[in-house]
Structure 1
């Protein structure tokens, strides 16, 4: 017994430091300090060590020189200023036109990061008014429901070889049994048979999104029988023409997901992977004092006002109504080309 006491006394400082370290680490882990540090080290490796792969601040132009098949159409300040109709933009006169213009311009896939899971309110009001009005002549002046026109545009696009992908999300209603369901676009749009993909974001504890999911399961699907793919995966599926029989496969030894010919390194055994692009949105502009830097430029980006601008669409500013989109559409010549004088 004396030897035990003597041993403890001789090692007391070591035992105390060990116990204190374990207690301190446990407390720090309990309050998520290590999670925060790990996220910031992740940011440091991307931002300071490697740097962005794209944009004007990229140190290595390898990725830029490869080019990209992705083009962003944005609802930006120019769209708010020039669009012929106010936001939220009608589906029949705006979004249907966007789909038709992009289809004629040769887009292989059109992906919408916009929710269409509720009927268009304006069209519902007009339809209700049409049901109540007594004049048949007035009824003929009321336009068709925007959802129907939008659905027809999607069906036409698919018929001509352009796939359309629309986002969905996992929604929860505690009054339902089971409570979770997929919030899909309205029936008039779904009748066109577009692809759909989830947009539920993965947010880290500090509010940033550093990871992206391949898909997800409904909470009640305890046997994991059906994975709903995310919007990006569905865009890959549409772009490469993969059939519905192609499934995601997980190699647990290599921690790699396989989808078609793509190998995606996962974060552990989960359904998510680290986002390779790092930086602000493509249109983000730095401002340092009086110096304005160009947009970041991860992907080529255009305003919605440009994509909608054809001969039959009148923008709010006549001087800027140059039929910009017509230059990409077969058989159409924008007006500004006729204005070029042969010097």
Structure 2
């Protein structure tokens, strides 16, 4: 991003308190159209809402013909139900109160078809028993661990046995396999293609075994943003990108093959100047995702030469070059390196259209209630 490109500047920035996360619907719409152009049929898109957690951004996708979604929390699932999304996969293991809360979604939002994942026999039985007691049948996907090492069962004999168990259990209806590959993020798309092909081979073998056992062909939901253009070329596969809608500095740098537009910008202000070449801005840990090293948390579009020195809950200290002209009260505009957890820090997104702040959209999916 060139510093002189001022698409992010807000004419009435004095009306926006800081820190704030600005979003740009015109760019978001372009990203949605670009996503649709990357696949043969939008029915094969199951976009993840964890990035934005916002009803208005769900509705922009619904208006564009995207009707299937993936989420990670009950709050996100509620948001999708309230938007009357057609098909929603909660891609997170269901235990404890989450299980009963998930079952309540089906009663509360009858227009939405909710499904879940399972990755071990006990989880499948527990879900099936709870569904039977509630008089329901829950659609499920066997969650596969294809290298992420987080959730999922290893592809192979145990995964096949779990699939067959789900097929026989009352209370659940097996639909297919789910596999997330968030560990695959090589910059070179050719290297990504090789890794994705290897990962998919194990999934494909399971699909063949299921069909050889006389069962219907399983659905496959696979991948995230880095593997999107690869799996989009595979037939009969649902793709689950999420970050595309807002994009961020991290993916803009690491995925040059995907020309999505950054559509979320942090607005922060200089609140103090502890010495001649140090600026303190109101962009602490509570305002931008802080899991990356300090130098990879925010990139200032209008001040790329500022160097982060330290960060605490409410403050970010920057080093400015000698002879700079910055002063207390000046606004800085920054791209977050990781937009998904950054969005989760805000109650509202500040909507910028035609260069001006016009309204706010609630980040309803960040709630844990």
In terms of fraction of residues, the more helix-rich structure is 1
TM-score (norm 1): 0.33
Q: Which structure shows the higher strand fraction?
A: 2
Structure number, greater radius of gyration: 1
TM-score normalized with structure 2 length = 0.31
